[in-house]
Amino acid sequence: MDTREKELVKREEVSGDFDPTDYVSERLYAPAPDGVRVPISIVYRQGTERSGANHLVLYGYGSETVDAAFDHKVLSLLDRGFIYAIAHVRGGDEMGSQWEEDGRGLKKRNTFTDFIAAAEFLIGESYTNPDRLFAHGVSSGGLLMGAVANMRPDLFKGIVAQVPSVDVLTFFMSEGAGSGWDDEKEALYRYMLTYSPYQNVEAKNYPNMLVTSAVHDTQVPYWAPAKWVAKLRALKTDDNVLLLQMNMEGEHGGSSGRLQRWKEVAFLYAFILDLAGIAE
């Protein structure tokens, strides 16, 4: 610590001609509606211009820490000209315990408005534009995807919601209400009613969407994403793609086995790349 010298002791191996100096990472801050600065971790290939014409995948979770760690899967997108970003929205604890508390309970909407603020910032700073911006979330991040799809569908070309928790009211009534009802639970129920994705689907245009689920998922029952997609299909007024992929063998974390996991990643990326018009 005195000399601040660093010694490399281990590095994750990446096959092919990978060179870490070919990529640039940054930490940005997007202004939220209440003035809070929302951190964004972003990575792209050297030489990428901020012309507003870049395809960009914005990932969000909002229930626990999402570290900006190296992820070799993302190289597949970066090498095709994509920018990849993580919005460290409130509800996670990247910025401490208060950051987490400010995205829970009666402050949960901060998670969604933070993500929207990050998307608007990246568009405003010419990293991308709404016709080239994709959102991605898993589980609680799927709740985030469902909420922003209802709140600001105009911001995104496509949304990928993996095993999304989109009917929080039913979950709350079956698991969170406990024995008895009181004013606190009533207030929370009324608040959740303002953002629960399933209950807030409307007759309007939605982005292209890929929704995944699993029959053996014990955390997000398969019927929740399935009925959400059914309601979207019944009410949405656009001709955009809306796919429901039902995993008949895997669980909440997807299928087991190295090859199966890669196939799932390939399917998600193929959905995004097809919408981006990239065939190779």
Helices (H), the chain: 75-78, 97-101, 109-124, 140-151, 168-171, 183-192, 223-235, 258-276
- Sign of dihedral through CA atoms 155, 157, 159, 160? negative
- 8 A C-beta contact, residue 137 and residue 164: yes
- 8 A C-beta contact, residue 176 and residue 151: no
Find the catalytic residue in 139, 140, 165, 213.
139
139 catalytically annotated: yes
252 catalytically annotated: yes
Find the catalytic residue in 102, 114, 167, 217.
217
Chain centroid to Cα 177, Å, comes to: 27
- 8 A C-beta contact, residue 132 and residue 157: yes
Catalytic residues: 139, 217, 252
